[in-house]
Amino acid sequence: MIEQQANTFLANFSELLQAGDTEAVAALFHPECYWRDLVAFTWNLKTVESPAAVRDMLDAQLPSVQPKNFSLAEHEAVTETDGAIEAWFNFETAAGRGYGLVRLRDGKVWTLLTTLQELKGFESPTFFNRPMGAKHGNDKQRTTWLEDKQQEAAELGYTKQPYCVIIGGGQGGIALGARLKALNIPTIIIEKNPRAGDSWRNRYKSLCLHDPVWYDHLPFLKFPSNWPVFTPKDKLGDWLEMYTQIMELNYWSSTSCENAHYDEQAGEWLVDVVRDGKPVTLRPKQLILATGMSGKANIPSFPGQDTFRGEQQHSSRHPGPDAYQGKKVVVIGSNNSAHDICAALWENDVDVTMVQRSSTHIVRSDSLMKIALGSLYSEEAVQGGMSTEKADLIFASLPYRIMHQWHIPLYDQMREQDAEFYQRLENVGFKLDWGADGSGLFLKYLRRGSGYYIDIGASELVANGDIKLASGQISHLTENAVVLDDGTELPADLIVYATGFGSMNGWAAELISQQVADKVGKCWGLGSDTPKDPGPWEGEQRNMWKPTQQQALWFHGGNLHQSRHYSLYLSMQIKARMEGLNTPVYGLQEVHHLS
């Protein structure tokens, strides 16, 4: 019965789209509806949120997109959850092939996800499309794989120009580089560190991934089945270095980007870099900043910083606890980095105090894995047939506007299950929160909300008093102490600022110009009008993985999950431009100058 309803809807939907009857298509949507499109219809990452908005988008895009052949996906059951029929489907556009998920309520669309999965004629060389590798037959001009690889490395950036340059060789740049390589897009990744993976190796000693392994795979190559659930930073660094080699990426380590300038007339960037001490000018058509989801380290300014006699360092520069045994350390902040650093210092017999300036969302790692991630990213999910790609699409199908409806019950369950744990934290004065609307970790992260910690042990030390806790704002520093606004003095030999990072477009200001950074606007956040995420509502991550107001400038970043998932859509947008396909962008993000 429900399969027939889904079939009927898709047939009707496809027929009306091909007929160009946008009013009739809009009438298929529930008054409260959300259509999230990843490139397929909009050449953008865009969510439209009403039947009228659906009609407006289709009026603009249908002539060029030409969608057709909507049909239920094979081997995927049509299901019903809480009164909503859920159905996976395939479709085609003029440019490519897509995949999607629709939820129907009362026979009309409540949520719709459409994604472009491949470009016609430019499919990724995987599975049945993979290259032969060895060159069979006889040829006196034959070259080997190694010779071809060495020639490409010698020429690209010198006698031949890359189509893309990626600034930043962490997980984001590497994941995108692999996608672009698979689409035969000549690309150079610029990384200032000597080795791939150093962006992880150079962080504080105790750092590890707080997300489980099933959430963190890279494109094409998953972690081995015996990989640890939580990856230590140095192990991840080694994996990233190995991945760049196996994926044959043109990875320019020990290379700094000095500046970049877009030549409007030539339609290309001039990117000045210094590689192994020698200047090189690159002329790519597309420039991607993959410097992480954040910008430069945010080091607050307090009176007395210039008179403090001890060490001061941002958490991103903290080397670890080894040099501080027997000393007094004050860590300003109460986020993931603050907790990790405090725990490692305590283990090394350091007298450590955490300063909590605002409330913090804490969620136990085990509870997060079992309750929030378990149905999508867990061993049980894998054994039950859930692929990483399907899990990513299910997660992507939840519109940001109403994502809290799915998340609040999960975090309510965690709060109830771990009530004693939270009570112990409150008993020592730790200020807890659950996000602006009680929706927990993921939306706080997406909204640029700081102050969260996925607990892997440090919270017990706080609750026990092993990590000392101080609450309040910083008044000033003396020669040997941090002074809070209530007069409390915290003696310190070292101050660690676990105070986060600025907006990613700060890198655009430094590498390109402040004018371009202002033209693009802020990166990250949804415009949810919650703390640190002022409106107006954007409905997607600002400026991430999609066209910006600066031609041929893109931003790519986020955690390993986002680096994996969204690199697919960014790579196809770039490939389409390289091949001269028609890419009319709908709903290019407006610039709002946010504080």
- 548 with 262: CB under 8 angstroms? no
Q: What is the pLDDT of residue 141?
A: 85
DSSP letters, 432-476, are: B---TTS--HHHHHHTT---EEEESSHHHHHHHTSSEEEES-EEE
- What tokens were used for 546? 């999609």
Q: Which of 72-81, 151-160, 284-293, 473-482 has the lowest mean pLDDT?
A: 284-293
- For residue 312, what are the β-bridge partners? 495
DSSP sequence for 223-267: PPTTS-SS-BHHHHHHHHHHHHHHTT--EE-SEEEEEEEEETTTT
Question: What is the homologous superfamily of the domain 147-296+502-578 according to CATH?
Answer: FAD/NAD(P)-binding domain (3.50.50.60)
Using the 8-state DSSP alphabet, how is residue 364 labeled?
Answer: E
Residue 158 has pLDDT above 90, yes or no: yes
Q: Which comes out higher in pLDDT, residue 544 or 501?
A: 544
Distance (Å, whole) CA 431 – CA 427: 10
Looking up tokens 């299950």 gives 417
For the entire predicted model, the pTM comes to 0.95
- pLDDT value of residue 331: 98
Q: Which CATH number fits domain 2-119: 3.40.50.300, 3.10.450.50, 1.10.357.10, 3.30.1490.20?
A: 3.10.450.50
Burial class for 146, CB neighbours closer than 10 Å (0-12, 13-18, 19+): exposed
Mean pLDDT value of segment 8-24 = 97
Helix (H, G, I), strand (E, B) or coil at 293: coil
Q: Are 335 and 499 in contact (CB under 8 A)?
A: no
Residue 390: exposure state from Cβ atoms within 10 A (0-12, 13-18, ≥19): middle
- Type of residue found at 75: H
* 311-497: CATH, from 3.50.50.60, 3.90.1150.10, 3.30.565.10, 3.40.50.720: 3.50.50.60
The full set of domain ranges for the chain reads: 2-119, 147-296+502-578, 311-497
* The pLDDT value given to residue 185: 98
| Beta-bridge partners for 17 | none
Q: Does the pLDDT value for residue 201 go beyond 70?
A: yes
**What is the average pLDDT across 538-561?**
96
Distance of CA 246 to the CA centre of its chain: 23
pLDDT over 70 at 295, yes or no? no
**Using DSSP, how many helices (H) and how many strands (E) does the chain show?**
18, 25
Query: 147-296+502-578 and 311-497 share one CATH topology?
Result: yes
H helix or E strand, kind and range, residue 352: strand 351-356
Name which of 335, 358, 314, 334 is nearest 468 in CA terms.
334
* The pLDDT value given to residue 521: 92
d(CA 175, CA 185): 14
Q: pLDDT category, 428, cuts 50, 70, 90?
A: very high
Angle at which helices 560-578 and 388-396 pack, to 10 degrees? 90
Q: What is the pLDDT of residue 448?
A: 72
